[in-house]
Amino acid sequence: MNEHHETSSNPYEDEQQIPYASWEENKTSEQGKEAAAPSTPQLPPSAAQSSPGVVPQAQQWYGHYPYAPPMVPQHIAPPKQDSYLQGLAITTIICSALLLIVGLVGVPITLLNFFNSYFSIDQTNAAAFFSRQALYLTGTIVCLAGGGLSLFHAIRSVLKRPSTAVALPPAWVLLIPYVIVLGGLFAIEAINGEIPLVLLAILFLVAVSPLAGATLLAISLRALPSNAAAITWRRLTVSLVSGATAPFFLIALLYSIVNTGLLYALYSCTGANPAPYCTNGDQLLTTTFILIAIIGPIIIATITPLLLAFYIRKVQKAGEALLLGLACGTGFGIMEGAFMSGTAYHNWVGVLLTSFGMIIINGTGAALVTLGWYHVLNPDHRHLPKAFGYWLWAVVSQIIFYLLSIAIPVIEPIDTFLNAWKVSLGTGIVSLYEIGYMAVVIVVAGLFLYLMQRVRKEDTLSAAVAPPSPEVVAPPSPEVVVPPSEVSSDVSEMSSDV
């Protein structure tokens, strides 16, 4: 029996038509909840993935199409800089410009002194020639390179540009060129080529102390925790250059005055009417000994980190103060090491001892004095005894060093005893005097490493115990919207950086 279907306008004639009542009976509970929930307009993906720092605004609907409000231009308020740090930056610009001028004037002076001394050189004044040329060349390089880098960082500080943290290679990487330089000096000494290869010898003598200083800084950076050792290139450069320039020139001026006074005293003793003190040689010798071996080291240990006193109050950690003082003393030691290495030009063992000895003695002394200043400005338990103890530690190490290098060779019985026993190391000769010198340097370095471990524990403990500082988050303004991605993490560093 054929059934006649009526013509329908539904295009889906094959689908089964379910009555509304039957559909109401068969729907699930989830479908019922979805049907009961009021329909909400779907926001576009750009609005859903908005920045967490921006308050989402409701979309305005006109008919069936959403209308987004216009984007407000984003502005970032420039970070404020401390006026004290800005004054230090301007002062650094002036001092760096003066250093550049001194370096430019020193270039022709160094060349004229070299040619004038080289063509009149003989074997008797070769040590004075090499020490003088190494000192002049090192000073010229420090004034040009150090002044240029300090000027660059000072201009960036005025422009409120942050400086990156210091990152040095491992110590063994820096030891490789140091060993190569010592090997070159050993080869030149073996063939007696100091005079024919005078330029190469001077370059090696100039390079040996900076390499030793860089090695000590690399070891110290890894001996302290990251939160204490996070000093910037700006502060490291200023510390190095400040230690290599003003304190060294001041000490050189003081020693020139002392030497002039001693020469005048000796000249007065040779005249027709000698001075009263000339009849008492022991009194003159005692006075000279006190000036050179006691008062001199006290002055050196005290004024080497002198320029760090201007921004020591901005130092946040004891480890940072230790590293800044070490960098300042390293700069002083580079200048003094270049002069002393020049006097030992024909003995590579002497160059080795003087380069590392000057760096370690002066670097650790300046670091101890700077750490004492930090404890005075950041009072804690027994901060004054700590500061005095660190200063006394630096002074005693300086006195022992100068006793070994200056005073003891003057005393004939002690000098004869120390130089009686000698060991040959190739072309170099090691005596009991040099072994004692090496032992003092090793003891000073070992005590300083122990101090760095103590500072590391204290800084790590204080960082773990100290509660986190609360951050105040201002509600965003409808006119000024600052996305979190554009907020620089260097603002705090820049506000406290020199």
Q: Where are the domains of the chain?
A: 83-460
CA 254 from centroid of its chain's CA atoms: 28
Q: Which among 227, 228, 231, 177 is positioned nearest to 204, based on CA atoms?
A: 177
Between CA 72 and CA 208 the distance in angstroms is: 59
pTM comes to 0.74
Q: Which residues contact 144 (CB under 8 A, 6 or more apart)?
A: 99, 100, 103, 104, 107
Tokens of 446: 């070992």
Q: Is the dihedral of CA 289, 293, 296, 299 positive or negative?
A: negative
Between CA 352 and CA 434 the distance in angstroms is: 11
Q: Is the dihedral of CA 48, 50, 53, 58 positive or negative?
A: negative
Apex 425 CA angle, 419 and 430, nearest 5 = 20
Contact yes or no for 351/158 (Cβ under 8 A): no
Please report, in tens digits, the pLDDT of each residue of the chain (498 residues total).
444 444 444 444 444 444 444 444 444 455 544 455 555 445 455 444 444 444 455 444 444 445 555 555 555 555 566 788 888 889 999 999 999 999 999 999 999 988 888 877 554 578 888 888 999 999 999 999 999 999 999 999 888 888 888 888 888 898 999 999 988 888 888 888 888 888 898 999 999 999 999 999 998 888 876 555 568 899 899 999 999 998 998 988 888 888 888 787 777 777 667 776 676 666 777 777 788 888 888 999 899 998 888 878 788 888 888 899 999 999 999 998 888 888 888 888 888 888 888 899 999 999 999 999 988 888 777 788 888 999 999 999 888 888 877 766 667 777 677 777 777 766 667 777 778 788 888 899 889 988 888 888 777 776 665 554 443 334 444 444 434 333 333 333 333 455
Tokens of 261: 């006074």
Q: Which among 239, 282, 215, 69 is positioned nearest to 150, based on CA atoms?
A: 239
Q: Is the dihedral of CA 122, 124, 128, 131 positive or negative?
A: positive
Between CA 300 and CA 237 the distance in angstroms is: 21
Apex 447 CA angle, 442 and 451, nearest 5 = 145
- Tokens 């279907």 identify what position? 5
Which pLDDT score, from 0 to 100, does residue 281 have?
62
92 sits in which H/E element: helix 83-118
Query: E-assigned strands of 299-453?
Result: 422-425, 428-431
Contact yes or no for 302/398 (Cβ under 8 A): no
Phi, psi of 428 (to 5 degrees): -95, 150
Which pLDDT score, from 0 to 100, does residue 463 have?
61
CA 361 from centroid of its chain's CA atoms: 17
Which pLDDT score, from 0 to 100, does residue 122 have?
54
Which pLDDT score, from 0 to 100, does residue 70 have?
54
Task: Give helix 318-343 / helix 432-465 axis angle, nearest 10°.
Answer: 160
Q: Which among 111, 100, 175, 88 is positioned nearest to 141, based on CA atoms?
A: 100
Which pLDDT score, from 0 to 100, does residue 80 have?
63
Which pLDDT score, from 0 to 100, does residue 136 have?
92
Give the largest CA-CA distance in the chain.
160
Between CA 375 and CA 454 the distance in angstroms is: 14
Q: What separation in angstroms does the CA of 199 have from each of 151, 211, 349?
A: 30, 19, 20
Contact yes or no for 88/242 (Cβ under 8 A): no
Which pLDDT score, from 0 to 100, does residue 9 have?
46
